[in-house]
Every structure is written in structure tokens, then in C-alpha cells.
Amino acid sequence: MADVVGAFGVPHTPVFPFFVERDGPECETAKLFARMRGEIEALRPDLIVMFDTDHLNTFFFDNLPILAIGTADMFQGPNDEVRGVPMRDLKSMGDVARHIHTHVVTAGFDVASLQKYTVDHSVVVPLHFMTPQFNVPVIPIFISGHLPPLPAARRAYAFGQAVRKAIESWPGKLRVVTMGSGSFSLEVWGPRIAPGRSDGVTDPAWVTRVCGLLEKGDIETLLNEATPEQMAKAGNVGGELLDWIAMLGTIDARPAKFITPQMQNGHAYAVWS
Amino acid sequence: MSIYNVNYLCRELLRDHAFRAAMKADPAAALKAYDLTDAERSALLAGEVGKLYELGANGFLLGYLCRFEVCGLNLDTYNSRIRAAAPGGH
């Protein structure tokens, strides 16, 4: 059977590849991602299952699923002109993805399927740093975390648990790493951006609170406190926390091995292994 | 529902490089093909992103008007105008 051998919470700020190229390996972001890369390489994964929220680049207002999974053997990204990261082919595992899809729909999660699609920075930027050879196949699973109505935190967690059961029922041997991609508090290009910037952390206290709960492994309190109102207060990408929450559903509740916030961006880097 | 068209053309700025160039050269002409209300068209041409947001346009997508510097927008003008808008869930 396949096993979830580790879980990661990662940021996906689209200018980070450019910043790291400009500022070198000693800058904070380079060092944090280098640590994450070391952690994922030590786990020798065969597959990454990434929970992600698209920024109206894979989907649009014509068709906006709450939950979706990429079921092709190959997809492309980033489709939103990420500086320093050209669009490229990205390997997936269509057979495993279709198995997960079938399993979670049978378990009561009405998930859309994408057979021909591209992804934006939110999938590719973490890979750019953590698997820079792009040699580990990735199955993206999309959760609507930006545009209300958002799915409930408990629903996202239960969805993660269903994805775990699906992975564990795959008959082949696979070492699987799951990821949650996103921020805890950030407004991007909306009215609550900071003066002089294109973004702003609207609720730094929430970032500290989420990090504290993850450090302790107190998922129950996190699920109680991650209400739609709280996520909206945390900015127009505050619902990306749902990607982390789904990721947490793929492992037993326990304290993070480490979690390091980057307060100026409202996000964090974390590992469960 | 023409706010859909405002959102759509903002994303076209990212995807369609000919449209991006046309919006930089002559926005009024580039927008002629789009079915917009008078309020949407005039707000777009004036770079009034706060007004467009209040009409229902999405923040990420309005950001492309600034990123690609069309309709007279740059980070300073974008920032002050969007910050003047009432926050909404879109």
C-alpha cells in the first residue's frame, strides 16, 4: 500500500523565486526553503499530493469548483508569468489521481476532475524550491479558499482524511508526501493592502495563533477557530489555511516537527514527518 | 452581469499579449470589443480601481491593471485608489 510519510505546509509567494535569485542563498527565504528541501529529500517521496487554492488562473468565474483534482499524467505551469520560473511540463500520476478521485467521491466528497489544465504560482513556486529538478510527480487537489462561500474548516479536514484513506488503499507501494500551499493572513491587490505595497498582512495575531496551535498539534481548536469570518478577516487569501487543514487531515494529529513563521508575509513553513 | 467582462478582460491582460499591448497603446480602442456598462468603461479608462472593486470586480484581477501598468496605473495610484474602496468578499 501507499503511505503518507510526511506532510508540509508551504508558502507560495510569486516573487520569492526572483527575490532568492537576487538576494542569494543567505537570505531568509532561501534558508527556510533550503531547510524544507532537506526535509523532503530525506523522505525520498515517490509522489507529492498538494492541496492548493487557485487564483483564478486554473479556474475562472465561468466555472469555479469548491473541490477539484488533477487526474492527468501531465500538466503545465506556472500560467501566470512568475518571474524567474518559466512555464514547463509537470509530471503527475494519473492512475493514482483517478483512484483518489473515485475513493473520495464514493466517500461523499463531490470533487471535480481536470484532465487538461495548467496551474499557477501556488503549485509551482513551492516545487521550484523544494524539488527543483521537478522529478517528483505531483497530484494537485484544489480547494476554493478565496471566494466565498468557502467550504468549512471541518469539511476540509475530513476531505484530507478521505484523501489519506484513498492513498492508503492504493495497491502499489508508494511513499507519498502531502503539502498544503498557502498563507494564514494576507490581502493581495484588494482594499486592505498596506500603504505602498500590493499586499498586506491584515491579522498578524491570527498568524501567531495558527502557528501556536500547529506547534502543539491542537487541530480541534484550530478547526473551531478557523471560521469563515476569521478567514475573511485574515485577508482575501486567508482561506488558503484550508489547504493546510486538508493537509493536516492526511496525518495523525500531532505537534509539527517545526513551524517557522514569516510574519511580514503572514505565512509559515512547517513539517510533519 | 458585465462585471464578468471586467474580470475577464483583466485576466486577458495576463494571457493575451496583443491585448496587453493594445491596452497600453489605446485603451479606449482596445475596450471597444467588450460589452461593458458606461460606469465600468469610464472607471476602467480612468484607472479607478476602487470604483471597479465596489462594482464587484475581483482584487487579484484588478491587480493585473497595475502589474501591466495600463490605464495610467502604477503601484502608487493603484494602492491609494484600491485602499479607498470598501472591502468586500470578492
Q: Which of B4, B86, B90 sits opposite A147 (nearest CB)?
A: B90
Which chain B residue's Cα is nearest to A231? B89
Mutate to test the interface with A, among B16, B61, B79, B81 (most CBs of A within 10 A): B79
Q: Which of B62, B86, B89 is the closest to A148 by Cβ? A: B89
Cβ separation of A191 and B76 shorter than 8 Å? no
3-state secondary structure of B26: coil
Q: How far is CA A77 from CA A74, A133, A195, in A?
A: 10, 14, 31
Distance from CA of B28 to the nearest CA of A (A): 24
Tens-of-pLDDT digits for all 273 residues of chain A?
899 999 999 999 999 999 999 999 999 999 999 999 999 999 999 999 999 999 999 999 999 999 999 999 999 999 999 999 999 999 999 999 999 999 999 999 999 999 999 999 999 999 999 999 999 999 999 999 999 999 999 999 999 999 999 999 999 999 999 999 999 999 999 999 999 999 999 999 999 999 999 999 999 999 999 999 999 999 999 999 999 999 999 999 999 999 999 999 999 999 999
Residue A83 at interface with chain B, using a CB cutoff of 8 Å: no
Inter-chain CB proximity B61 and A81 less than 8 Å:
no
- A64 contacts chain B (CB < 8 A): no
Radius of gyration over alpha carbons of chain B, in Å? 12
CB contact under 8 A, B82 and A193: yes
Domain-wise residue ranges, chain B: 3-83
Q: Does A149 touch chain B (CB under 8 A)?
A: no
Question: Is any Cβ of chain B less than 8 angstroms from the Cβ of A236?
Answer: yes
Judged by CB atoms closer than 8 Å, whether chains meet at B59 and A232 is answered as: no
Please answer whether residues B9 and B34 qualify as being in contact, where contact means their C-beta atoms are separated by less than 8 angstroms.
Answer: yes
With CA atoms as reference, report the closest residue to A50 among A124, A110, A148, A101.
Answer: A124
Residues of A in contact with B63 (CB under 8 A): 188-189, 198
What's the ipTM? 0.97
Range of the domain at A86: 2-272
What DSSP letter does each residue of B45-90 carry, written as one string? HTT-HHHHHHTT--HHHHHHHHHTT-TT--HHHHHHHHHTSPP---
Amino acid code (one letter) for A157: Y
How many structural domains is chain A composed of? 1
- Contact list, B79 vs chain A (CB under 8 Å): 193, 195-198
> CATH number, domain at A149?
3.40.830.10
Q: Tell me the count of A-B CB pairs closer than 8 A.
A: 69
Tell me if chain A has a CB within 8 Å of the CB of B58.
yes
Cβ of residue B62 closer than 8 Å to a chain A Cβ: yes
A188–B83 CB contact, under 8 Å: no
The reported pLDDT for the residue numbered B90 is 83
At A167, give phi and psi (nearest 5°). Answer: -60, -45
d(CA A64, CA A55): 11
Which pLDDT score, from 0 to 100, does residue B41 have?
98
Contact A188 B60 (CB under 8 A): yes
Instruction: Output the DSSP codes for A132-143.
Output: TT--S-EEEEEE
List, for residues B33-57, the tens digit of each pLDDT value.
999 999 999 999 999 999 999 999 9
pLDDT band at B1 (very low <50, low <70, confident <90, very high): low
A234 at interface of B, judged by CB pairs closer than 8 A: no
Q: Give tens-digit pLDDT for A21-48.
A: 999 999 999 999 999 999 999 999 999 9
Nearest residue in chain B measured CA to CA from A60: B8
Flag whether residue A198 sits within 8 Å of chain B, measured between CB atoms.
yes
Shortest CB distance from A190 goes to which of B7, B8, B87? B87
